[in-house]
Amino acid sequence: EVQLVESGGGEVQPGGSLRLSCVASGFIFNAFALAWARQVPGKELEWVAQIDAGGRITRYTDSVKGRFTVSRANDKNVVYLQLDSLKTEDTAMYYCLKSRYSGVQSTPQARVWPDRGQGTQVTVSS
């Protein structure tokens, strides 16, 4: 059974930083791409960052480029999302997702990412 457990969320002031972690189990970690997505109540899921199975290829949504960094430690079964220069519009529940495949997608499709964790809340407020 695939399990994805996020942690590291919290409340920070604008301009602050957080580091989210997602510990994975139940599958061969280094064989699959992973992603972070976020959701605000009443809105659709927004794909934030993807990383391929080997950790060499990453993709980001335009609004977070240069501020967020996705990485993974295949020896520890963990994927990270470093959030810097946070803005109030970054406030959301952040989810870790697992792909069916090893590569990232130019336009993420939900059917390719069937597994999702329970989420960790990020609140950016002054």
User: pLDDT band at 39, cuts 50/70/90?
Assistant: very high
Q: What are the pLDDT digits (tens) for 48-86?
A: 999 999 999 999 999 999 999 999 999 999 999 999 999
The rounded distance, in Å, linking the Cα atoms of 37 and 31 is 20
> Of 84, 48, 83, 44, which is closest to residue 63 (Cα–Cα)?
48
- Please report the pLDDT score of residue 20 as a whole number: 98
- Average pLDDT over the chain, rounded to an integer: 97
Strand-pair partners of 50:
35, 59
